[in-house]
A and B are shown apart, each in its own frame.
Chain A
Amino acid sequence: MEYLYFLYIDFLHKYNLPEFIGMATFPLLPFCMVAAALILVVLFLVLMERKVLAFFTQRKGPNRVGPWGLFQTIADAIKLLCKENITPTGAEKFMFNLAPLLAFVPVMVVWGLIPFSSEFDFMSYSVSALLFMTIASIPTLGILLAGYASNNKYSLIGSFRSVAQAISYELPLVFVLVSIVVLASSLNLRQIVLAQISVYPFCGWFIFPAFLGFLIFFICATAELNRCPFDLPEAESELVSGYNTEYSGMKFAFFFLAEYAMMFIMCAFMATLFLGGFLSPFGFYLSERFIHNDLLAQVLVYFEQVFWLFLKTFFLIFCMMLVRATLPRLKSNQLMGFAWKVLLPLSFLNLFFICCYKYFIYAK
């Protein structure tokens, strides 16, 4: 960290800039990097989703715009930005415009809470896991506002469903999170990751004691993200497009972006809690082993940690896409019944099991 700081100051000195500018801007740099990375990742995530779904159904997916269709999403985004922003006549204007922001901004905030490497976590609080769950539930409010303000019955029903779903699936999610907190004895996400270090490679990951918890978390995260098979709020065949029926242009792009960004962040969160976050699955870091320049290796380790986190995240996203390609949509009553009758008791069971494990085995 200090090494990077000195590099940056050196870089500024070359252009005759005083040191206090470096001191002021250095903490901001990672934020800019992370924000840009999120947008980029989301752009390619949309493409990945289309490609992967195409592979599952033996199609080719987008392959016309650029090599392997790499620029397809960029073209789509430009198309969306060029479109007119329509506000329906009966809409509540202020709330109608506020809703996309309310759905998008918390996602950006939550993104900063993920520990990318052992040094760079941009917002590290002692309760960051709790903070994550709290802020991550705000976009639901944006969706509710969007449905209420657009003066359309389909939007309203879609947003009601979304809220009902979010409330019922948040509970098992938090109970699984509690079990992880019990295991790590900390609410700080970096501490949770560091608690997964063990003598043997990847044996300390929390997915092994809390496999049931992992499954519950995965299902609940899918439901939280309104993805298939829990995509009732956007059920095309019943509600035209759910809460974003009346939205067009930039505002629709915000909803779209927020949805995919949240998917990425949720998977990164899952990787942090269960799959050892930024830890290497080999038990050692490749750059430490293969690069003998000490300073360079020290810097590269951080990037390698980011790489491992992203790899695990993309693995989880791939699993989510597999689920989407396989399962049909649930009925509304099945959805609620599943959350309250199956997942909630199972998450209690998981918590009980983890507590026993922690008390009798893990602590010794």
Chain B
Amino acid sequence: MMKKSLKPFRDIIALALGHLTVFKHVFKRPVTLEYPEKKLPLNDNFRGEHALVVDNEGKLLCTACGTCQRVCPSFETIEIEKEKNESGKFYPKNYTIDLNKCIFCGNCVQYCPFGAIIMTKEYELADEKKSALKLDINTLKKNYSDSIIKKTVKSKR
């Protein structure tokens, strides 16, 4: 224990040390990341905008089974128009995901039996119109090819 009479001196030393500690930070590099120009690296399992996987022949892997609709926790987010092709297989004629309702939980990706839907690393989704956030089948295909070009997802080709 220190004597009580020494307390003021101890306090003054503590104050000086505190100032010194703060002053040291002048020489450190700022931790600021200037966002629009530089971005943080994203994790591998980042859940961004959706994309429909297209195989080598340019066909969708999706069979319009409706599993994604059933596991989706939010209401009427995914809408699928089913249709049969010549060989008797089902394919989605139209496939819409409403990002206004989507909560980006990733259930649709996890439960898809064919691995036909994935999530890209695109997260800057703000738009002036609400309708722009309703992704139709063409947008979803385009998202896939875009993210292949940007190498944010591994190609399944």
Interface residues of A (CB under 8 A from B): 54-60, 322-323, 325-327
Chain B contacts for A55, CB-based, 8 A = 25-26, 30
Chain B contacts for A54, CB-based, 8 A = 30
Nearest chain B CB to A288 CB, angstrom units: 34
A58, A59, A322: which contacts B19 (Cβ < 8 A)?
A322
Chain A contacts for B75, CB-based, 8 A = none
Chain B contacts for A325, CB-based, 8 A = 22
Chain B contacts for A58, CB-based, 8 A = 25, 28-32
- Considering only CB atoms, which chain B residue lies closest to A64 in the complex? B34
**B29 adjacent to A326 (CB under 8 Å):** no
B23 within 8 A of A: yes
Chain B contacts for A326, CB-based, 8 A = 18-19, 21-22
- Considering only CB atoms, which chain B residue lies closest to A54 in the complex? B30
**B18 adjacent to A59 (CB under 8 Å):** no
**B19 adjacent to A323 (CB under 8 Å):** yes
B21, B22, B30: which contacts A59 (Cβ < 8 A)?
B30
How far is it, in angstroms, between the C-alpha of A326 and the C-alpha of B19 when the chains are bound? 6
By secondary structure, the B interface counts as helix
Nearest chain B CB to A55 CB, angstrom units: 5
**B31 adjacent to A322 (CB under 8 Å):** no
**29 pairs from A and B in contact (CB 8 Å cutoff):** A54-B30, A55-B25, A55-B26, A55-B30, A56-B22, A56-B25, A56-B26, A57-B25, A58-B25, A58-B28, A58-B29, A58-B30, A58-B31, A58-B32, A59-B30, A59-B31, A59-B32, A60-B30, A60-B34, A322-B19, A322-B23, A323-B19, A325-B22, A326-B18, A326-B19, A326-B21, A326-B22, A327-B15, A327-B18
Chain A contacts for B30, CB-based, 8 A = 54-55, 58-60
- Considering only CB atoms, which chain B residue lies closest to A326 in the complex? B22
Chain A contacts for B21, CB-based, 8 A = 326
Chain A contacts for B22, CB-based, 8 A = 56, 322, 325-326
By secondary structure, the A interface counts as helix
Question: Interface extent on B, as a size class?
Answer: 10 to 19
Nearest chain B CB to A219 CB, angstrom units: 11
Interface residues of B (CB under 8 A from A): 15, 18-19, 21-23, 25-26, 28-32, 34
Nearest chain B CB to A327 CB, angstrom units: 8
How far is it, in angstroms, between the C-alpha of A59 and the C-alpha of B22 when the chains are bound? 13
Nearest chain A CB to B77 CB, angstrom units: 38
How far is it, in angstroms, between the C-alpha of A325 and the C-alpha of B26 when the chains are bound? 11
Nearest chain A CB to B25 CB, angstrom units: 5
How far is it, in angstroms, between the C-alpha of A322 and the C-alpha of B20 when the chains are bound? 9
The 6 residue pairs across chains A and B that have the minimum distance between CB atoms = A60-B32, A326-B22, A60-B30, A55-B26, A58-B31, A326-B19
- Considering only CB atoms, which chain A residue lies closest to B34 in the complex? A60
How far is it, in angstroms, between the C-alpha of A185 and the C-alpha of B34 when the chains are bound? 56
- Considering only CB atoms, which chain A residue lies closest to B8 in the complex? A342
How far is it, in angstroms, between the C-alpha of A180 and the C-alpha of B18 when the chains are bound? 30
Nearest chain B CB to A319 CB, angstrom units: 9
How far is it, in angstroms, between the C-alpha of A211 and the C-alpha of B62 when the chains are bound? 81
Nearest chain A CB to B4 CB, angstrom units: 16
How far is it, in angstroms, between the C-alpha of A54 and the C-alpha of B22 when the chains are bound? 11
Nearest chain A CB to B100 CB, angstrom units: 32
How far is it, in angstroms, between the C-alpha of A323 and the C-alpha of B23 when the chains are bound? 10
Chain B contacts for A56, CB-based, 8 A = 22-23, 25-26
Chain A contacts for B28, CB-based, 8 A = 58
Chain A contacts for B15, CB-based, 8 A = 327
Nearest chain B CB to A326 CB, angstrom units: 4
How far is it, in angstroms, between the C-alpha of A56 and the C-alpha of B29 when the chains are bound? 10
How far is it, in angstroms, between the C-alpha of A55 and the C-alpha of B19 when the chains are bound? 14
- Considering only CB atoms, which chain B residue lies closest to A57 in the complex? B25
How far is it, in angstroms, between the C-alpha of A58 and the C-alpha of B27 when the chains are bound? 9
Nearest chain A CB to B18 CB, angstrom units: 5
